[in-house]
Amino acid sequence: MPERPTKQKLWGGRFTGKTDPLMHEFNQSLRYDQRMHAADVQGSIAYSKALALQNILTKDEQVKIEEGLKKVEQEWATGQFAIQADDEDIHTANERRLGELIGPLAGKLHTGRSRNDQVATDMRLWLLQEVANIQSYLTGLVRVLVERADKEKDVLMPGYTHLQRGQPIRWSHLLLSHAFSFQSDLQRLKQLIPRISILPLGCGGLAGNPFVVDREFLKKELGFDSIAENSLWGVGDRDFIVEFLMWASMSMGHISRMAEDFVIYSTAEFGFITLSDAYSTGSSIMPQKKNPDSLELLRGKSGRIFGNMAGFVMTLKGLPSTYNKDLQEDKEPLFDTVDNVSACFQIAEGVVGTLEVHADKMKAALTMDMLATDLADYLVRKGTPFRQTHHISGQAVALAERTKRSLSELTLSEYKELSDKFEADVESVFDFEKSVERRDAIGGTSRRMVERQVSILREALRE
């Protein structure tokens, strides 16, 4: 049996008194940073190999340390790891358990390494994996929006500005507007990766590694894109976390806006869509109600995510250089954000994929006054300047309102009183399908342009 090491804190040699139990609880982070157990073991195995390359460890010692670390990780993975009261964080816990498994040899692992560069490495390794997961969730959301849009191109609905009916559009055009927002989020997330994938390991506490470990080796071993070139910056930088939190805040803003659209469209007053029972709840007092709780939670989570970002930025803004214990406050907002963003994208995908569309209700909401711009465009094609046609169309709208008729019910003679450019073919204006088909420039709501958007997004997803 290996010799059981004396329990001591990683930093304990300088101190002779006991830590206040309340201070221990205040200081420890294992209750939440234990989720980085795999990243911590991965980084430690790589570091043991780097130490062996410098002859700090023999080949046999490195193998024993690696085997011990793999046993530690297996215990975490199977739920058998026994946390001890003195475990401050995931790094302390893993090193303590490694010592129990292989004896004093475990003490060599920390040679030249600080928890400062260790935790920075773990955070980046962990976040890189989570970003990969989030990319897959967000891709799923974009895909379901695109595929649904492709299948429902024939459904027309009112397009709104200021929540007032503006012009007819295709339902698919609305879905794709959200898809493009999320596709931009995917692009921005990918652009973050090189700034996350920077190796801090080998920076030591702040001044660098005195045993000149091969950091190029560590970079390749751990799969990082680049190396932190300045040790002071390497241990103290948390910009990659801030940038991820900012990205998450923007993405959740897009989730919130889509959720708000669907909340409105699912009301009895609109009746455009019905949410699946799987993503709805009832009322505790009103039996008839079907509440869009999934959408409301998606909308509400956006505020929480923004709060995580704003709070951590305030933590960072006044810190002196390199590592300060304030940086321990990076983990909870990051972990919470990753958890909630991951859940939100998956829930949103489920909502979009299962909601029911009521094309008849959308069609019934289309009114002739929404073709007032088409009426103005008709006169433009007859040679009248748009500023004049806008005014003439407005007069037609006013006349229809005053006489309680629709634009299509005004007579040709009434139109001619407004402009002699009106002819019998003015009737062709009052067709919602023709209206959307006239919007055939790139970005428009015509069938051809919707198909173009679907094609572009599908290609982006393939890439």
For residues 337 and 244, is the Cβ–Cβ distance under 8 A? yes
**Residue 107 to residue 98: CA distance in whole angstroms:** 9
HSE-up (13 A, CA, CB side) for residue 62: 15
- At 170, phi and psi to the nearest 5? -90, 140
For residues 98 and 4, is the Cβ–Cβ distance under 8 A? no
Residue 76 makes CB contacts below 8 A (sequence gap 6+) with: 34, 37, 38, 41
HSE-up (13 A, CA, CB side) for residue 118: 25
Q: How far, CA to CA in Å, does 160 sit from each of 171, 247, 363?
A: 12, 28, 14
- Chain centroid to CA 298: 12
- At 79, phi and psi to the nearest 5? 75, 20
Q: Which of 276, 283, 321, 428 is catalytic?
A: 283
Task: Clarify whether 283 is annotated catalytic.
Answer: yes
Token couple for 326: 């304030």
DSSP string, 246-278: HHHHHHHHHHHHHHHHHHHHTSTTT-SEE--GG
Token couple for 268: 């009895």
- Chain centroid to CA 333: 14
The secondary structure of residue 9, as a DSSP letter, is -
Q: Rounded to the nearest 10 degrees, what angle do helices 372-381 and 386-402 cross at? A: 140
Residue type, 35: R
DSSP string, 70-105: HHHHHHHHHT-----TT--SHHHHHHHHHHHHHGGG
Minimal CA–CA distance to 369: which of 405, 333, 330, 345? 405
Active site residues per annotation: 162, 283
